[in-house]
Chains A and B, each alone.
Chain A
Amino acid sequence: MTDQDVPTTAGGRPALPGAEIGPVRAVPDAVRLLRFGAVTRNAHRIHYDAEFARSEGLAGPVVMAQLHGCLLHRAAAAFAGGDPRAVRALGWQNRAPASPGDRLAVTGTVRTVDAATGEVTLDLEETLDDGTVCCRGHAVVALPPSPDGEGSRRT
């Protein structure tokens, strides 16, 4: 891989394996959970009914898995310069619940870079302030080709 082949992020930084990503932060509160549940038609009571959530063994209402996914997606898109369509794949496992008002941060590292296709695979992690891992996942993003069309894929 030559320097001209190295895909780069929005800021022109080379996307090299091991490079750090983020953090992208969010604090999904009870209002956001209500709004998100409404637009996705998710009426599962673990997301808004504290007593019911406790009866299920949770500490209280929890953030929806899909909302975690949206934050991971945002982090991957941000790495690709903010283009949401640059994210070609996203996977995650829910490891621990997050409560409304928790401060979430998505960080990660570049796992691999395919200079031929411009696709970069990211390892992602969403954590609480205390270090608890809520989600662990990965994304594949396609960095855009360079404006000069010579394949350097600089943005």
Chain B
Amino acid sequence: MEAVATAVDLAERRARALVGRVEHRSLGVVRAAEAAEFARAAGETSACLVDPEDAGFVVHPMYVVSLLRGVPGAGDEEFRPDGMYRDEVPGTDGLDVALMAGGQDVRWIADVRPGDRIDVRRTLTEVARKGRGTGFLLLTAEKTYGTAERGVLIEVTERFIVR
């Protein structure tokens, strides 16, 4: 008799079918005040990160790569019961699985500037089953953050854990 598929099994099956598919998302226009608010929330105190009026102000390099959504946020229908976005972790929409961030590799090619309209391109590149028993999934996605005018500004390799 065939074993009943677990939610992790289903997530794995779905995720494998999504490997290589390119997804796009807009984070909207970067505003200096919002980047400064991010820096303050992260605990920064340097004027160059928290004061948009400072002559040396720069958008915190971690700002756009930490944003899960741009303004104006998401509608109710975009959330999972756990509060995560339905499309944040590929293959997990509607499944009762636990989601955790596994880590990131961020490579900055150019500064993000106020006024940049940031588009995110994401491709799921790897699905691996780890651990014993049901174990867990380790999903790897490649992302780029850029603008139509300036091209790719940041490259990210992101890992998610699904269990």
Contacts and interface: CB of A to CB of B under 8 A. Distances in A.
Contacts, number: 104
Interface residues of A, number: 40
Interface stretch (B3-11, B43-51, B122-130, B141-149): B43-51
Interface stretch (A7-15, A87-95, A117-125, A147-155): A87-95
Given A39-B37, A40-B66, A69-B66, A85 B84 contact: no
B50 to A, nearest CB: 11
B106 interface: yes
Interface string B97-140: 01111111111100100000000000000000000000000000
A44 B84 contact: yes
Interface in B1-44: 34, 37-38, 40-44
B68 interface: yes
Nearest to A97: B100
Contacts of A51: none
A52 B99 CA distance: 12
Nearest to B98: A56
B67 A87 contact: no
Contacts of A1: none
Given A32-B41, A91-B105, A66 B66 contact: yes
Interface in B44-69: 44, 46, 48-49, 58, 60-62, 65-69
Q: Most chain-A CB neighbours within 10 Å: which of B42, B69, B101?
A: B42
Contact of A40 (B40, B68, B98, B99): B68
Interface in B67-114: 67-70, 73-74, 79, 82-84, 98-108, 111
